[in-house]
Structure 1
Amino acid sequence: MLRILVCVSGGGTNLQAVMDAIRDGRITNTEIVGVISNNKNAYALTRAGQSGIDAVCLSPRDFPDRAAFNQAFLDKVDSYSPDLIVLAGFLVTIPAAMIENYRNRIINIHPSLIPSFCGVGFYGLKVHEAALARGVKVTGATVHFVDEGTDTGPILLQKSVEVLEDDTPESLQLRVMEEAEWQILPRAIDLIANGKVSVTDGKVRYK
């Protein structure tokens, strides 16, 4: 049974997609052992609590410096003994020690087709604003493993979404979630849970 820990900062729609997929059998051999948020007001914490999943808030604001937060964060993560850490809209820089300790065991969902519209400063609506400003005709979402860079880890899954002429950042964000994020994140977890993924020379291979 794959033990997953989900880290979130906001509403938790991707968390809900994962919980629904586990319930419906689209993700197999998997259990969510905990949810961590840096935002005490994140609705994701409510979603987790309503499903009987242990949920906690750890905010950098509650610690004297980033080093103290990083250590507390890593200690809390370790306490769940996760096999996989899922970053689902988590707006906190992952400590280097955590990346090293969980090499190729941390995945992130990003709302664009990497390498487009990714990296430092590209998150949330900013991604979709940039896509519309550039006039792209296709965007989408990417699930990737996390390394020391920002959105630079090995790509696991991608799914494209058509951009419509009358799209706003908000409408595009919703459609990318519905048509891409909520589909490929559960699929990625299921692939990992069933031993169908490996990473070789910085690239994902399917077994």
Structure 2
Amino acid sequence: MKNIIVLVSGGGTNLQALIDASERGEIKGGKITCVISSNPNAYALERAKNHNIATDIIRRKDYASLDEYDKALTELLKSKNADLVVLAGFMTILGTGVIRAFENRIINIHPSLIPSFCGEGFYGLKVHEQALARGVKVTGATAHFVNEVCDGGPIIIQKAVEIQNGDTPEILQKRVMEQAEWKILPKAVSLFCEDKIKVNGNVTVIAE
């Protein structure tokens, strides 16, 4: 049984999707053993406590440099025996140390169909604002491994969501979460825990 550590900073809706999927038996071969927050006031911590999941806090401002924070986070994850790290609304940049220590073992969920509307500066409502401004007809979400390029790691699963007339960034954000993010993130986590993902360069092959 693989240990899944979830990193959070805010409300924790994607964390809740993972918890719900786990409790329904949809995450095979893995268990959420700890939730770590960069924000001691994150509601995500309450979600974890409500389901008897251990929590911890690591704040960027408690460390003088990104290097020190990177080392501390790496050691914290190792101390939790992390097999898989999931970024579920984690708003602190990961350093190269933790990314290398957990190569192809960190999964992120991004609210667009990568490579569209991704990279530095594309997060939260900004992604949906840009999608609407560009006039695309389809958007969606992507579950991917994290590497040293922002939103540039190997793609695991994508799910499309249609844009509708009258959409606002807020309406579109909610639809992408409900129809795509909350479905594919637990699926990607389960595939990892079942050892069904093979990475060849920047491409994944999913076992049937």
Normalization by structure 1: what TM-score? 0.97
Letter in 2 for 1:168: T
Q: Deviations over 1:76-117 (max 9, x none)?
A: 111111111101111111111111111111110000000000
Give the conservation status (yes or no) of the 8 Å contact 2:71–2:97. Answer: no
Hey, what does 1:102 align to over in structure 2? 102
Task: Say whether residues 1:164 and 2:140 are aligned partners.
Answer: no
CA distance in 2 between counterparts of 1:117 and 1:138 reads: 12
Task: Say whether residues 1:127 and 2:127 are aligned partners.
Answer: yes
Hey, what does 1:36 align to over in structure 2? 36
3-state SS of the aligned residue for 1:73?
helix
**65-74 vs 25-34, greater mean Cα deviation:** 65-74
Give the conservation status (yes or no) of the 8 Å contact 2:146–2:153. Answer: yes
Q: What residue ranges of structure 2 are gaps of 5+ in the alignment? A: none
Q: Deviations over 1:146-186 (max 9, x none)?
A: 11100000000000001111111111000000000000001
Aligned-residue identity in percent = 53
Task: Say whether residues 1:92 and 2:106 are aligned partners.
Answer: no
Normalization by structure 2: what TM-score? 0.97
3-state SS of the aligned residue for 2:153?
coil
Aligned counterparts, 1:116-195, within 5 A? 116-195=116-195
Q: Which runs of 4+ in 1 moved over 4 A?
A: none
CA distance in 2 between counterparts of 1:173 and 1:206 reads: 27
CA distance in 2 between counterparts of 1:113 and 1:143 reads: 9
3-state SS of the aligned residue for 1:117?
coil
**103-112 vs 88-97, greater mean Cα deviation:** 88-97
3-state SS of the aligned residue for 1:35?
strand
CA distance in 2 between counterparts of 1:57 and 1:80 reads: 13
3-state SS of the aligned residue for 2:191?
helix
**CA RMSD of superposed structures (Å):** 0.9
Matched residues, number: 207
3-state SS of the aligned residue for 1:156?
strand
Q: What residue ranges of structure 1 are gaps of 5+ in the alignment? A: none
CA distance in 2 between counterparts of 1:115 and 1:36 reads: 28
- 1:134 Cα offset (Å): 0.8
